Amino acid sequence: MLAITVLTGDGHRHVRASAGKLAELVNRLGGQNDRFLVVQRIPDLPEVFIQVWHEDEDDYVLEHRDGAPDRHFQATLDRPEPVIAAMTRWACLEDEWGSGLNWTPLDLDLPEPPPPLELDEDERKGLDARIREVIVGGYATRAQLAEIAQDHLVSGDRRPVSPEQASRLVDRMWLERVEEQSSWKGEKDPERLSRAFIALEATGITARENFACCRTCGQAEIAAAGSPDARGYVYFHSQCTDSAAVGHGLALLYGGFDGSSDTTASIGREIVAALQETGLSVEWNGDPEQTITIAPLDWRKRLIG
């Protein structure tokens, strides 16, 4: 798998797409609502991407950007094969990945910088704390974080944070997190958790991370989230994620789809075994009415976008 996210013209996101998947997505370009791809690195870096546009019978327009507007280039190609090769080499961080292509710089206007945020000290601290909490949670993209930053202080008609100000604030804090995680070595607890959830999914237990906004919504939606023949489920919602991000461990909600306490207890035992198999510490007394808690938990989750 490549450390990239591919955004398609039909609105889909392919996280850690393989080289084969990337080639498939390029080869299918041309139809309505499927004329472009944008490829970003994981972790996403502001204004660093490679993208391609293609309509039936037309050439492929390949662009890449490396930060500032004066680092934005374009090449035109008549076949998909050199596009696939260049995008794959870019994704693999190869030296001279774009050699052999006729790149021309794009003349882009420099955007006006947004005015400074006009917030009092408490508002600024609260906004920074919320963005930091969601970044540490690890499930939001930069675009989603910018929306959170815009909406966090909205009151009536007052919208003190513009889209441009939100993007600038989020990018600064995002890059701080990228720098933090660059020193992390080896598998971390969130990756162990993901590994356990993948194993549970393979046994017929619907397993979802950061699923829904709360328990009420999660319980209403989990049955439709997985296979129709799933035996049971386990998930944690975004409020659980927030709690884990500030060091309080992670509560898991679980159950059997037949509604019986015996099935729920059995599903609980399978969940505990899968978590322990990955090396996570679990607190649960076997009571199907009690949540399963992963604690202590070192929530160092690498950014997904």
pLDDT for the residue 261: 97
Separation of alpha carbons 242 and 236, rounded Å: 10
Of 150, 174, 173, 153, the residue nearest 162 (C-alpha): 150
Separation of alpha carbons 247 and 118, rounded Å: 31
pLDDT for the residue 81: 97
Separation of alpha carbons 25 and 27, rounded Å: 6
pLDDT for the residue 109: 78
pLDDT for the residue 212: 97
Instruction: Give me the chain's average pLDDT, please.
Output: 96
pLDDT for the residue 304: 82
Q: Count CA within 13 A, CB hemisphere, residue 22.
A: 29
Phi, psi of 207 (to 5 degrees): -125, 120
Low-confidence residues of the chain, pLDDT below 70? none
Of 51, 47, 49, the residue nearest 62 (C-alpha): 51
Phi, psi of 156 (to 5 degrees): 60, -125
Separation of alpha carbons 74 and 172, rounded Å: 27
Taking only the tens place, the pLDDT of each residue in 93-109 is 999 999 999 999 998 87
